[in-house]
Homo-oligomer: A and B are copies of this chain.
Amino acid sequence: MTVAGKETPRERYRAQLRAEIKERAWEQIAAAGAPGLSLNAIAKQMGMSGPALYRYFSSRDDLITELIRDAYHSLADTIRTAAASGADLAGLGRALRAWAREDPQRYFLVYGTPVPGYRAPDDITMIASEIMGALLDAAQSAGAAATTPSDGHPDARLEAHLAEHRQWAADHPAAPAALRRALRFWTRLHGVLSLELAGHFTGMGLDPDELYDSELRHLTQ
C-alpha cells in the first residue's frame, strides 16, 4: 500500500493521527456543515486537549483547506478510476452520483455555496481541471460517431461559442461537440444532484434516480 520502508515509527504515528483528525472533522461536517467545524471539539472527541492539534495542522483554515483538497482528490480518483475501467459518459455520471451520495457534505465542499472571499489554493484549481480533463476524454470518445448540430439546432450557437472560448480546455484536443458534452455533463448532473442532496425532492414524491438517469440518457445526444 504505502512505501513503508522509509517511514520511521514516529512518522507513521504522525500520519495516523493526522488521518484521525480529518476523520473526526468529516464527521463534524456531516453533522453540522463546514461552518460548524471546531478544532477544540475535535480534540475533545479524541480525548486530547485543544492545542495538541496544532502539532498536526497549523490552523483551522489549514485543516479545512486540506479537507477540500482531499475532497477534490477523492473525486478526481473516482472519475479517473471509472474512466480507466472503460466507463462512458453515463458511467462517469453514475460514479459521480455514487461518490456524492457517499458523503453529501463532501460534495458541497466542492460544488456548494461558496464562502464569500475564500479563494482556493492553486493546486486545488489544478485538480479541478484534471477532473475536467477526464470528462473531456470521455466526451470526446462519446462524440466520435456523433454529428455536428445544424444551424437551427439549439446547440449550434453554444458550440460556436465554445470553439472560440476554450482556454479551460487549452491543452485538450477535444472538438467543440465534446466541449459541449463535457459542460452539459457537469451543469446538468450538478443541477439534479445538488437539489437531491439538499433535500429539495423529498416530499415531492419524485424518485431522484429517475431524474438523474433521464439526464444521463441525454448526455450522449
Query: A residues within 8 Å of B by Cβ?
Result: 30-33, 35-36, 105, 108, 111-117, 125, 154-155, 157-158, 161-162, 165-168, 183, 186-192, 194-195, 198-200, 203-207, 210-211, 213-215, 217-218, 221
Judge whether B154 and A218 touch: CB under 8 Å. Answer: yes
In the bound complex, CA of A168 to CA of B32 (Å)? 29
Given A191-B192, A192-B187, A165 contacting B113 (CB threshold 8 A): no
Contact of A115 among B33, B187, B213 (CB under 8 A): B33
List, in ascending order, chain B residues with CB within 8 A of A167's CB: 204-205
List, in ascending order, chain B residues with CB within 8 A of A157's CB: 210, 213-214, 217
List, in ascending order, chain B residues with CB within 8 A of A191's CB: 186-192, 194
Given A154-B214, A187-B188, A165 contacting B206 (CB threshold 8 A): yes
In the bound complex, CA of A159 to CA of B198 (Å)? 23
Given A112-B113, A191-B190, A198-B112, A221 contacting B30 (CB threshold 8 A): no
Contact of A114 among B115, B154, B199, B215 (CB under 8 A): B199
List, in ascending order, chain B residues with CB within 8 A of A215's CB: 187
Judge whether B161 and A210 touch: CB under 8 Å. Answer: yes
Contact of A194 among B166, B190, B211 (CB under 8 A): B190
Given A113-B112, A191-B189, A199-B114, A183 contacting B205 (CB threshold 8 A): no
Contact of A113 among B113, B188, B192 (CB under 8 A): B113
